[in-house]
């Protein structure tokens, strides 16, 4: 299947089956913004839950780096979308969070400079901007990606604020609060899932590059002497999370950044990159970044905005010799009462995009094959092979026919799944083969059918989405059977 054709089919399926819609579509849509439909919101919620479970609720780690504690705390927070403007000045976003953009004076279109070679000229789509004889591109200039807003009624420059471009800073500014209010000891992690906003110049590739998106980020605070080992640990752990949830190793790489790629705060960064179908063969797009941020953030929020000078981080000074963007002045160091040592912790940050992860799982799951129908005739089948933990609907319940007590028994089983908290759908319309195909298309891993044998043996048929294997299971065991196969 051609790359473009495959991605077009995934986008069409996402709309047709209620996974993802263009925001404000009836008004022509809003570029860079997306709405999740009934199935999409469940898929995305399951991605969030799988991440949160791994990081927080089911965290019980014993395999840690040599010399590190054999267990560590993981806690969660939820911080505000609008923060004090000084946060973004101290973090570097106010000065450095920019892309280079160019405009075309002829068609008035705007492009990110590094996207120009792969973009289409609005006047002649077969050419890139600048290649058409009517193109008049401006010189590249900086464009800050933060969304600006106004607090209060006066609307003066002093009332300006920003929608957060990342969730990380909310965890850094709460470091002291978390240490003071809980029993966490270093090393420990603080996780958060929430909305972020970036005023992308050219949002594109479906939900891959959007202006509003959801992040799943964790800041892991550790002793400086152990930070490199923890960096390696979190790179490997995050890679394995995607593999565990269905991404194939052939489509996922872990790429270490070259020195010239590193962000201003980074000691080292590795990207988890996925072979999205909209990319050329052999190309990968960023799925998640794991960054070794050193002590940049806690020091910045304490002392003032930092910059590199002769390889060292120092407070950036203005023309008057004072900190250009002053920090809070609060002591954000950590005192280890057992070792009798005070230090500024280093931070390892796995930062994942929930929307990108959802898109990657959707792309990975998309398959087309041929399978026999109930009469043995080979038919085309579209199937989403989602991991059962991620599937929006875990099980579907069907009465084979709408009589002989089958609908009533099927409804009883349906309610049993509902009471057990397992996402279930009931369907009695159309031939059984067509109902199977509907469930395959939305990624439902198991289908339970009540048939004439059910009244005799009190058993039902359960069908596996991927293998098409059908076995009989006692009705009283069916809920536990499905729960045990969800992984």
Shared-domain flag, residues 127 and 20: no
Give residue 1's pLDDT: 52
Q: What is the CATH number of the domain that holds 448?
A: 3.40.50.800
Shared-domain flag, residues 139 and 150: no
Of the candidates 2, 11, 1, the residue with the CA atom closest to the CA atom of residue 363: 11
Q: Whole-angstrom Cα distance, residue 104 to residue 133?
A: 12
Give residue 202's pLDDT: 83
Is residue 375, in this structure, part of any structural domain at all?
no
Give residue 61's pLDDT: 64
Q: Which of 115, 144, 173 is the last residue of a domain?
A: 144
Shared-domain flag, residues 317 and 450: no
Q: What is the CATH number of the domain that holds 24?
A: 3.30.930.10
Shared-domain flag, residues 272 and 417: no
Is residue 110, in this structure, part of any structural domain at all?
yes
Is residue 367, in this structure, part of any structural domain at all?
no
Shared-domain flag, residues 155 and 303: yes
Shared-domain flag, residues 70 and 177: yes
Q: Whole-angstrom Cα distance, residue 14 to residue 37?
A: 9
Give residue 372's pLDDT: 79
Q: Whole-angstrom Cα distance, residue 202 to residue 110?
A: 7
Q: Put the strands of the sheet holding 395-399 in their side by side order.
A: 424-426, 395-399, 446-450, 459-464, 470-474
Shared-domain flag, residues 115 and 262: no
Is residue 93, in this structure, part of any structural domain at all?
yes
Shared-domain flag, residues 109 and 213: no
State how many domains the chain has: 3
Q: Which of 83, 110, 144 is the last residue of a domain?
A: 144
Q: Which of 308, 341, 361 is the last residue of a domain?
A: 361
The pairs formed by 459-467 with CB atoms below 8 angstroms and a separation of 24 or more are: 460/413, 463/436, 465/383, 465/385, 465/439, 465/440, 466/383, 466/385
Q: Which residue ranges in the chain fall short of pLDDT 50? A: none
Shared-domain flag, residues 220 and 328: yes
Shared-domain flag, residues 14 and 45: yes
Give residue 63's pLDDT: 67
Is residue 381, in this structure, part of any structural domain at all?
no
Shared-domain flag, residues 122 and 211: no
Give residue 2's pLDDT: 56
Is residue 366, in this structure, part of any structural domain at all?
no
Does the pTM surpass 0.75? The reply is yes
End-to-end CA distance of the chain: 30
Q: Please give the DSSP secondary-structure letter assigned to residue 54.
A: I
Is residue 376, in this structure, part of any structural domain at all?
no
Is residue 213, in this structure, part of any structural domain at all?
yes
Shared-domain flag, residues 460 and 439: yes
Give residue 435's pLDDT: 95
Identify the domain containing residue 469 by its residue range: 393-484
Tens-digit pLDDT profile for residues 230-281: 999 999 999 999 999 999 999 999 999 998 888 777 889 999 999 999 999 8
């Amino acid at each position: 299947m051609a790359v473009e054709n495959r991605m077009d089919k995934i986008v069409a399926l996402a709309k047709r089956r209620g996974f993802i819609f263009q925001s404000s579509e009836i008004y022509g849509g809003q570029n860079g913004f997306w709405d999740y439909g009934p199935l999409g919101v469940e898929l995305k919620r399951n991605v969030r839950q799988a991440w949160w479970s791994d990081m927080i609720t089911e965290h019980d780690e014993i395999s840690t780096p040599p010399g590190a504690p054999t267990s560590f705390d993981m806690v969660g927070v939820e911080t505000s979308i609008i923060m004090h403007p000084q946060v973004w000045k101290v973090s570097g976003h106010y000065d450095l969070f920019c892309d280079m953009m160019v405009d075309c004076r002829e068609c008035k279109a705007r492009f990110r400079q590094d996207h120009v070679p792969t973009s289409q000229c609005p006047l002649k789509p077969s050419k890139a901007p600048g290649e058409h004889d009517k193109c008049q591109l401006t010189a590249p200039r900086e464009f800050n990606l933060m969304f600006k807003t106004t607090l209060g009624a006066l609307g003066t420059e002093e009332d300006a604020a920003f929608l957060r471009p990342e969730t990380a800073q909310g965890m850094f500014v709460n470091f002291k609060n978390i240490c003071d209010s809980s029993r966490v000891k270093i090393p420990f992690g603080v996780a958060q899932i929430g909305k972020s906003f970036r005023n992308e110049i050219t949002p594109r590739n479906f939900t891959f590059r959007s202006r509003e998106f959801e992040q799943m980020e964790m800041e892991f605070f550790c002793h400086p002497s152990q930070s490199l080992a923890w960096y390696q640990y979190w790179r490997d752990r995050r890679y394995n999370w995607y593999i565990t949830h269905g991404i194939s190793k052939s489509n996922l790489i872990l790429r270490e950044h070259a020195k010239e790629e590193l962000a201003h705060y980074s000691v080292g960064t590795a990207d988890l990159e996925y072979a999205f179908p909209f990319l050329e063969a052999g190309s990968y797009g960023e799925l998640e970044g794991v960054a070794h941020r050193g002590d940049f953030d806690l020091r910045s929020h304490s002392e003032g905005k930092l910059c590199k000078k002769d390889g060292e981080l120092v407070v950036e000074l203005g023309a008057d010799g004072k900190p250009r963007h002053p920090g809070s002045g609060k002591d954000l160091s950590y005192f280890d009462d057992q070792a009798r040592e005070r230090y500024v912790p280093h931070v390892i940050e796995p930062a994942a995009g929930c929307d990108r992860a959802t898109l990657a799982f959707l792309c990975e799951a998309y398959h087309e094959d041929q399978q026999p129908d109930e009469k043995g005739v080979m038919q085309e089948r579209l199937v989403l092979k989602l991991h059962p933990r991620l599937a929006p609907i875990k099980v579907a319940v069907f009465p084979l026919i709408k009589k002989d007590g089958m609908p009533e028994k099927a409804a009883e089983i349906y309610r049993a799944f509902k009471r057990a908290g397992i996402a279930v759908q009931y369907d009695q319309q159309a031939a059984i083969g067509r109902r199977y195909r509907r469930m395959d298309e939305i990624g439902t891993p198991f289908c339970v059918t009540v048939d004439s044998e059910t009244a005799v043996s009190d058993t039902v048929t359960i069908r596996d989405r991927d293998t098409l294997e059908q076995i009989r299971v006692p009705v009283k065991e069916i809920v536990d059977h499905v729960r045990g196969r969800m992984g």
